[in-house]
Amino acid sequence: MIKLSHISKTYYKAGKAIKAVDDVSLEIRDGEIFGVIGFSGAGKSTLVRCINMLEHPDEGGKVEVGGEEITSFSESELRAVRSKIGMIFQHFNLMPSRTVLENVLYPLQYRGIPKAEQRRKALKLLELVELSDRLQNYPRELSGGQKQRVAIARALASDPQVLLCDEATSALDPTTTLEILRLLKKLNQKLGLTIVIITHQLSVVKDICKRVAVMEHGKLVEQGDVFSVFANPQKEVTRNFLKAATSLSKADVLAKYRPDLLHLQPGEKFVRLTYTGPGVSEPLISTVSNRFFITMNILFADVDLVDDAPIGGTVGVFSGEPENIDAAIEYLRAKQVKVEVLAHA
């Protein structure tokens, strides 16, 4: 559906070149939900704006959408292409002087569509996003989630095959985020819509994306299906996302700033076990306790489902004979559990 080849985008500011996107190639399949994740400034927005050519990539890059190479299109041809690619934004970007209905009518007007037909279509879309009772409200009278649903209806008005979402849930609370993600999933299934989701929230990717690309400093550093990327991260950034997203990262803070709170006795080890394989369901901790005569005092655990497979870990203190603890760690590592010793007495 979408194919980007060697996309770069350089901005020049005060004579200095900033490479916002650096040689990115990727392919997004028809009807899939594809995530692009990266920390702030990674170049995600710039990349997604190259897909509908709101931003012209540097010489040499190629953008193909629906089999057409649009990089060489004229401005008026691009306008036609853009109306076939829906886009929604972090801050919704609804027109404040227009009602909900008028906002959805916006992309339908001045295109030779009869008035009655425009209206029929807008009403149908607003029904799809469950806002039929808010037609005459102005955007400022709506909640964030409602605004985003209006924006989605508006983006769908010209029957696009692709929907680009730039941080579409970043300004919403967790419950509303779930509600919007559920709507996107429904649209994906019902309309066969290809969806590209830009986000810095791992939870969003885990929730609805099939495949993901990780961006850092303008480069695409990792990509693949969500489970394999996050179960077995190859790059530091990807790991950081995982850590930042789970409570397991609290362990670092504890080890670094308040080791006194752990009351570690000589020989004890403060560890973090991260499960990267399908073995989480095995009772690993009780197995090692029995087998190596050690105890694990669990401080906290966080196990999550990514793309329906478990991922996560446990943080706690091992106590027992030092050689037994070491043997237990060896055993766990053999079972594809990542073991980090964060502190010892």
Partner 1 sequence: MLDFLNAVIPNVMDKPDELWLSTCQTLYMLAVSGVIAFVLGVFLGTVLTVTAPGAIMDNKKVFSALGGTINVFRSIPFVILLAALIPFSRFVVGTAIGTTGALPPLVVGIVPFFARQVESALSGVDPGLVEAAKSMGSSNIGIIFRVYLKESIPAIIRVTQITAISLIGLTAMAGAIGGGGLGDFAIRYGHQRGQTDVTYVTVLVILLMVGVIQYAGNYFIRKLSH
Ligand X SMILES: Nc1ncnc2c1ncn2[C@@H]1O[C@H](COP(=O)(O)OP(=O)(O)OP(=O)(O)O)[C@@H](O)[C@H]1O
Given the rule CB under 6 A, which residues bind ligand X? Answer: 11, 13, 18, 20, 38, 40-46, 200
CA-closest candidate to residue 97, choices 141, 131, 128, 149 = 141
Return the number of the residue (167 or 268) whose C-beta is nearest ligand X. 167
Identify what 18 binds: ligand X, partner 1, Mg ion, none; CB under 5 to 8 Å per kind.
ligand X
Q: Is 118 in the site for partner 1 (CB under 8 A)?
A: no
When binding is defined by CB under 8 A, the residue of 5, 10, 83, 132 that contacts partner 1 is: 83
Residues 157-196 that bind partner 1 (CB under 8 A): 158, 164
292-319 in b/e form (b: 16+ CB < 10 A) is bebebeebebbebebbeebbbbbbbbbb
Return the number of the residue (89 or 270) whose C-beta is nearest ligand X. 89
C-beta of residue 194 within 8 angstroms of C-beta of residue 162? yes
Q: Say how far apart CA 318 and CA 341 lie, in whole Å.
A: 10
Length of the chain: 345
Q: Say how far apart CA 129 and CA 104 lie, in whole Å.
A: 12
Among the listed ranges 27-35, 64-72, 115-123, 151-159, the one in contact with partner 1 (CB under 8 A) is 151-159
CA-closest candidate to residue 337, choices 225, 231, 226 = 231
Nearest approach in angstroms of CB 194 to ligand X is 20
Return the number of the residue (106 or 331) whose C-beta is nearest partner 1. 106
Return the number of the residue (44 or 154) whose C-beta is nearest ligand X. 44
When binding is defined by CB under 8 A, the residue of 27, 29, 95, 234 that contacts partner 1 is: 95
Nearest approach in angstroms of CB 211 to ligand X is 18
Nearest approach in angstroms of CB 17 to partner 1 is 17
Return the number of the residue (17 or 253) whose C-beta is nearest ligand X. 17
Return the number of the residue (87 or 248) whose C-beta is nearest Mg ion. 87
Q: Is 45 in the site for Mg ion (CB under 5 A)?
A: yes
What six digits make up the tokens of 4? 């980007």
Q: Say how far apart CA 134 and CA 108 lie, in whole Å.
A: 19
Residues 47-76 that bind partner 1 (CB under 8 A): 52, 54, 76
C-beta of residue 237 within 8 angstroms of C-beta of residue 301? no
C-beta of residue 207 within 8 angstroms of C-beta of residue 245? no
When binding is defined by CB under 8 A, the residue of 18, 68, 69, 80 that contacts partner 1 is: 80
Among the listed ranges 31-39, 40-48, 276-284, 316-324, the one in contact with Mg ion (CB under 5 A) is 40-48
Return the number of the residue (47 or 142) whose C-beta is nearest Mg ion. 47
Nearest approach in angstroms of CB 241 to ligand X is 13
Binding interface with Mg ion (CB under 5 A): 45
Binding interface with partner 1 (CB under 8 A): 52, 54, 76, 79-83, 85-87, 89, 91, 93-97, 106-107, 110, 138, 140, 151, 154-155, 158, 164
